[in-house]
Amino acid sequence: MRGANIPEEARRNTIRTYSELHRKFDLFLSGQTGSSLLIIARSGVGKSHYLKQNANWRITHYLEGNAKPLDSYIELYQHRHKLIILDDAESLWASKNGRIVLRELTETTFPKTMSWSSTVKDLEATLTPKKYKTNSKVCIICNSFRFGHSDETAAIIDRCQCYCFDPTNEEVARYVAEWFWDQIVFDYATSNLHVIDNLSARMFVRAWERRIKQDENWRNEFPLLSGVDAIVQRVCKDQNLTTAVERVNEYQRIAKLNELPASRATFMRHQKELRERGMLSSCPSELSLSVKGRPPAIPMGVDAILAEIEAAELEQKYFGQLPFRET
């Protein structure tokens, strides 16, 4: 992953395959892990979808990470002892009070003591005590990690099993083939796996939406390697460069011309990352798969949207305001 300060504890436990990630999730969802999980992965690779599809909601609660710290504290009380899925945890983690909630929630002793330092009306209104105990374990999901080096952050990392999920482009394509529906979009992506930068499932869906609306630039949804990565890949695949010294020298020459970082260390770091992502193969493998899914039933057009609105209004009229229930 690029553009994120991944903790070393997660980076050295990088996961490349969906099968391994799902095994970690399955152990958590079945209550078989003794500690909490911290999973850092780029957006659009299906981590949240798998958890939502496979959770037993009798014993699991889904907590939005953009909730305020106090709201999270109250919600954790209302669902104490359940397994907690905390999605998009960046907002909660960015707050001092939020980090304290996370620190207490990831404590490794049982039961854990959750506490709120001040009395507020929301606690009284929801009958939430200023201190309570819970045996909840949490799976924290982040798209990036930019939370500095606070004492709370260090404690949370130390108390979790930390992983970085960074699948190869081929791994993402195999995952997408199981549920995607547009063979034309899929074939374009799979024929360019060696040059697409950090492929995600959402790229396929956005490209399909543009293609069916006759947008001839739908392929732009798949960004290609650029900058340092593009130069490193080009140099590493140049068969005229036979030694490491020659490749470094050529990289430095091109990088300086493009006013990019030109150190040997930069070249070596990007070379290692590209190799781990499967981007340096001299003979990219052809991935021939047929997509297995069907387009989603999304209301399209004014009439369809009005019909949905009218159905919702009738439901509210005859059945009242129904609370959201996880299924």
Q: What is the pLDDT of residue 153?
A: 81
CA quadruple 228, 233, 238, 242: dihedral positive or negative?
positive
Helix (H) / strand (E) element for 41: namely: strand 36-41
Cβ atoms of 292 and 173 closer than 8 Å: no
CA distance 102 to 97: 9
Q: Residue 144 is encoded by which pair of tokens?
A: 């990036």
Instruction: Give me the mean pLDDT over the 282-303 stretch.
Output: 82
d(CA 311, CA 257) in angstroms, rounded, equals 61
Highest mean pLDDT among 120-124, 152-156, 232-236, 277-281: 232-236
**Model pTM?**
0.83
Lowest mean pLDDT among 183-197, 208-222, 313-327: 313-327
Q: Is the peptide bond before 111 cis (omega within 30 degrees of 0)?
A: yes
Determine the average pLDDT of the residues in 24-29. 96
| Percent residues over pLDDT 70 in the chain | 93
Helix (H, G, I), strand (E, B) or coil at 112: strand
Distance of CA 202 to the CA centre of its chain: 11
The pLDDT of residue 324: 47
